[in-house]
Amino acid sequence: MTMATYGRKETKATLSQNRIRIKKHYGQNFLVDKNMLEKIADTAALDERTGVVEIGPGTGNLTTQLVRRARHVLAYEIDEAFIGMLEETFSEERLTLKHGDVLKQDLDADIETHLGDAESIVLVANLPYYATTPIIMKCLEETTKIDRMVVLVQYEVARRLSAVPKTKDYNALSVAIRYRSEHRFAFKVPRHLFMPAPAVESAVIVLKTKREQRLERSLESYFFRLVKASFRHRRKTLLNNLSVFSEHAKDTLEEKMKQAGIHPGVRAETLDLEAFIRLARIMHAP
């Protein structure tokens, strides 16, 4: 069996030959334009020294571009329907395929095992819409092995990159991205290049991991949890969100917020990265 890797008609034919139904709940919007697939792979600047992590290879259209350019690709696919066809198409030398939910995987261990001899690691993916934020969050929080990420996301997520405090786009992801990476908006991807066309516009973003480790490991993991808890209910005050998250009594919390220079009545969306770092340090201290 040969597999078409791009083109609307070809992708439809491949899916039907293999009796694969498109599963909306897995965010399956296939990018079917060859030029755009190449442009994304080019943006990732891959070569024989680069190891790639791909999330959701699907029909293997982007994977084809990646295996051509990189040393080795490690890919996670949740939908079993694609596993057989991907295994038939790509040699094990070029691609390690893992069947499962990427959110449940140990990325550091897998990168060590399968991409251990690469000089740098790049994540390249057309991310499923329903899980874009948790996937990016996981990659920011749980691994330091990824050097850059080139990801296709809904335009709304791309806007969160540059979102500043006191705007509606600003959220936990904006803070985490700013903490961990230098980021840039690369380009827009029109809806009609996908099959099926998604309801929203898309864009490619590039995140380059910062090398400097500002907080030591256990404080850093506390910082990420604190940021997520702070935005849990947007309309609640920071104090109310944090009193669910923290073991400190409310008046101790108020005291700690004041020590960090934060008024207890404010909402999370008013705090910048530095304020979150100050607050994490003070709240984490015994």
The residue ranges that bind ligand SAM (CB under 6 A) are: 26-31, 55-58, 61-62, 76-79, 101-103, 126, 128, 131
Residue length, the chain?
286
Name the closest residue to ligand SAM (Cβ): 56
CB of 39 to ligand SAM, least distance (A): 12
CB of 78 to ligand SAM, least distance (A): 4
Of 61 and 89, which has the nearer Cβ to ligand SAM? 61
Enumerate the β-bridge partners of residue 75. Answer: 54, 97
Of 51 and 58, which has the nearer Cβ to ligand SAM? 58
In three-state secondary structure terms, 266 is coil
Of 51 and 128, which has the nearer Cβ to ligand SAM? 128
Helix pair angle (273-284, 250-259), 10° resolution? 130
CB of 195 to ligand SAM, least distance (A): 8
CB of 128 to ligand SAM, least distance (A): 4
Residue with tokens 């992801």: 173
Of 85 and 242, which has the nearer Cβ to ligand SAM? 85
Of 41 and 279, which has the nearer Cβ to ligand SAM? 41
| Cβ within 8 Å of residue 129, ≥6 positions away | 27, 29, 154, 198, 200
CB of 32 to ligand SAM, least distance (A): 7
The torsion of the CA quartet 96, 98, 101, 102, rounded to 10 degrees, works out to: -30
b/e per residue 131-160 (b: at least 16 CB within 10 A): bbbebbbbbbbebebbbbbbbbbbbebbbb
